[in-house]
Amino acid sequence: SQELEQSPQSLIVQEGKNLTINCTSSKTLYGLYWYKQKYGEGLIFLMMLQKGGEEKSHEKITAKLDEKKQQSSLHITASQPSHAGTYLCGADMSYSGAGSYQLTFGKGTKLSVIP
């Protein structure tokens, strides 16, 4: 089974609607990263979370890491067509002091926004 599960696998929303993507692990997450990827391109960094209960926002995107550091959510408010793409969560799942930061990724959530 996948170490890092993302849900849903895909999402189609009307422009202006809010949405949430989840990233869940059975292990503690040391360093949780959210990225956005357009088809055939590289990953664009969105946010990094490290502390339990941490929440960060950038423009209309908010990401949270739960207190137990085993689940993160990404919330988009008032979605726009420019938000379309695949959202990936990646995590360091092996504590090793300074951190190796070998990231384990989920399979991604494909978001489509209908104008």
> Binding residues for other proteins, per CB under 8 A?
4, 31, 33, 35, 40-45, 48, 88, 90, 92, 98-108
Closest CB to other proteins among 4 and 19? 4
Closest CA to 52 of 68, 63, 74, 75: 68
Cβ at position 92, least distance to other proteins in Å? 7
Cβ at position 46, least distance to other proteins in Å? 11
Closest CB to other proteins among 17 and 38? 38
Round to whole Å and give the CA distance between 72 and 78: 20
Residue 21 near residue 74 (C-beta atoms within 8 A): yes
